[in-house]
Structure 1
Amino acid sequence: MTDSTEPTPTGGTSSGQPLRIAFSPCPNDTFVFDAWAHGRVPGAPPLDVTFADIDVTNGLAEARDERLDVLKVSYAVLPWILDDYALLPCGGALGRGCGPLVLTRAQETPVTAASLSGRRVAVPSERSTAYLLFRLWAAAEVPGGVGEVVVLPFHEIMPAVRDGKVDAGLVIHEARFTYQDYGLHRVADMGEHWENTTGLPIPLGAIVARRSLGADALRALAEATRTSVRMAWDDPEATRPYVAEHAQEMDPAVAEQHIGLYVNEFTADLGEDGYAAIRGLLTRAAAEGLVPPLSPDALSFP
């Protein structure tokens, strides 16, 4: 395995060779892939894992990096990559009540959405689903829009808001459980806005694989991913060492909350509601000129 933000050119996908995959060290990803990464999924090829922040994996997918076969990316990046990558119908992060938050420093007079007009905001990636949801929200709720947007690794955003380096921050992952520890105030929940305006679940992170692997291999990857998810649900204790190793300083209770929120029925299978949410987000974003339009069969799986 490789624990870095840069993939190493090892292996491949021919018989006996490892499948080269990149995903984040966040608890939901390590929980999902624990069984497979440790050789417990019957018949699945070994994994060569690269751990990388979502902004890095988005960039690797857009660059068509041939050193990787499978990546965890933002749904927001799909319109730029689906000619070369297929969306797997499982393994990702999509659900309800799990949207990104907009945070500011706590003040006697709480900051409102309208008061963010022209302000400096930190975001985890300009290609992230979080940022796409944020732009759709800001277009409706922030008169004139926000000001400068600064891209920071997600774990640096709350300290930057706390220390006054930015006026507000868009946060993801376990930050929804810990932001009060930084003395921060929640201005808005992007997921609430999305669910209230569409009635659909919130699409966050997707698993994609190179189409050049072939239809049979893609179907096998999807089945191995589903099996890994189900094995984690059946024996969550077995996943804890892998989760704890890569969650680093995260409180174990927060890691459990993180997994409980982001690993759900949509992780095992997107289903009709999942696909409707993805199409809804990307269609709405395309209508606003934020992403290229999708072709009718762009989300189809072999």
Structure 2
Amino acid sequence: MKKTVIAHSPDADDVFMYYAIKFGWVDMSSVKFDNIAEDIQTLNEKALNGVYEIVAISFALYPHIRDDYAMLRTAVSFGEGYGPKLIKKKGVKLKRNFKVALSGKHTTNAMLFRIAYPDAKVTYMNFLEIEQAVLDGTVDAGVLIHESILTYDEKLEVEREMWDIWQELAGKELPLPLGGMAISRSIPLNKAIEYEQTLTKAVQVAREHKEKLSQMLLERDLVRIDAPTLDKYLELYANDDSITLSNIQYRAINKLFEIGYKHGFYDSLVKVEEFTIPTEYKEMRNS
């Protein structure tokens, strides 16, 4: 059997969307799946170097890897009225050139932040270290992602929501594209279609059995948060809209790429529909 590694982040939504496969609820003929969990910027960097065949990425990274990876339509996370948060110590007034910690150069929140705060002094660190860096005074502020947006210390307060920056840049009707999955173009097309179908089924099954799967993740210490926080978090980032891309989500991703191109983050304007797997190939091949 071919062994295929799925590389995802250790945050609860990625774990939730993959573990229907890990627990054997969903499988794929002649393929044995394994997984590895790494922070999102590490995944972005490894995607840039073509390390993994199937990998979770920040949407903002995709135009940089479009020649080597196709975008999968499933296991996507968007914000709608919420998202990463710029936090600081309570009562602190930030200067124009404040020092800020971001979770990685190629993350979606980093691109939006750098557009909104061009004079800030940016340092990058693992997302798990950002909250403590602000508390310690290592940086003046930091952008929290993943579960941290629900659990940050009471000594901290929100300076600005990335959602608000997104709305100012993109308009008020589009959800905020945060993360998705990419698949290597080295995989034969008919097999890539099967991988996408399997991963889509995994997210669908996870949603259908949310309560049971959540309990199993908690019992095995596979997530960093308690049951009530997990339930709330999954409804934010691993919800029914995570199963497969919708028309409005396509529009949102394209708007993100348009904004990035306009501000010099990309060398050309990318339309995500042109870089997904052409599923009609399998139908044509079998006709």
- What TM-score does the superposition give when structure 2 sets the normalisation length? 0.89
- Return the match for 2:99 from 120, 126, 129: 120
Give a deviation string over 1:174-199, Cα, whole Å, max 9, x none: 122112x2410101101133135422
TM-aligned CA deviation for residue 42 of structure 1: 4.4
1:61 — aligned with what?
Answer: 47
Native 8 Å contact 1:36 1:46 kept in 2:
no
Native 8 Å contact 1:39 1:46 kept in 2:
no
| 3-state DSSP of counterpart to 1:245 | coil
Does residue 33 (structure 1) correspond to residue 15 (structure 2)? The answer is: no
Question: How far apart in 2 are the matches of 1:299 and 1:276?
Answer: 14
Question: How far apart in 1 are the matches of 2:276 and 2:211?
Answer: 35
* Counterpart mapping for 1:216-255 below 5 A: 216-240=190-214, 241-242=216-217, 245-248=221-224, 250-255=225-230
Native 8 Å contact 1:25 1:52 kept in 2:
yes
Give a deviation string over 1:118-161, Cα, whole Å, max 9, x none: 1110000011111012123325xxxxx21x21111111111111
Question: How far apart in 2 are the matches of 1:47 and 1:79?
Answer: 27
The root-mean-square deviation of aligned C-alpha atoms, in Å, is 1.8
Does residue 263 (structure 1) correspond to residue 242 (structure 2)? The answer is: no
Question: How far apart in 1 are the matches of 2:212 and 2:69?
Answer: 31
- Return the match for 2:70 from 59, 71, 86: 86
In structure 2, give the amino acid aligned to 1:200: L
| 3-state DSSP of counterpart to 1:170 | strand
TM-aligned CA deviation for residue 295 of structure 1: 4.2
- Return the match for 1:100 from 78, 84, 88: 84
Question: How far apart in 2 are the matches of 1:119 and 1:95?
Answer: 26
Distance 1:279 1:116, change over 3 A: farther
In structure 2, give the amino acid aligned to 1:28: D
2:165 — aligned with what?
Answer: 193
TM-aligned CA deviation for residue 28 of structure 1: 0.4
Give a deviation string over 1:49-71, Cα, whole Å, max 9, x none: 11100011001000111xx2100
In structure 1, give the amino acid aligned to 2:146: H
Native 8 Å contact 1:26 1:246 kept in 2:
no
- Return the match for 1:184 from 153, 156, 177: 156
1:6 — aligned with what?
Answer: none
In structure 1, give the amino acid aligned to 2:122: V
- Return the match for 2:116 from 112, 117, 137: 137
Native 8 Å contact 1:86 1:209 kept in 2:
yes
Give a deviation string over 1:4-35, Cα, whole Å, max 9, x none: xxxxxxxxxxxx12211110111101111111
- Return the match for 2:256 from 257, 262, 281: 281
- Return the match for 1:205 from 179, 188, 195: 179
- How many residue pairs get aligned? The number is 272
After the TM superposition, list the runs of 4 or more consecutive aligned residues in structure 1 that deviate by more than 6 angstroms.
none
Native 8 Å contact 2:79 2:163 kept in 1:
no
Structure 1 unmatched runs, 5+: 1-15, 140-144
2:147 — aligned with what?
Answer: 174
Native 8 Å contact 1:33 1:225 kept in 2:
yes
Structure 2 unmatched runs, 5+: 279-287
1:7 — aligned with what?
Answer: none
In structure 2, give the amino acid aligned to 1:176: I
Native 8 Å contact 1:282 1:293 kept in 2:
no
In structure 1, give the amino acid aligned to 2:254: R
- What TM-score does the superposition give when structure 1 sets the normalisation length? 0.84
| 3-state DSSP of counterpart to 2:2 | coil
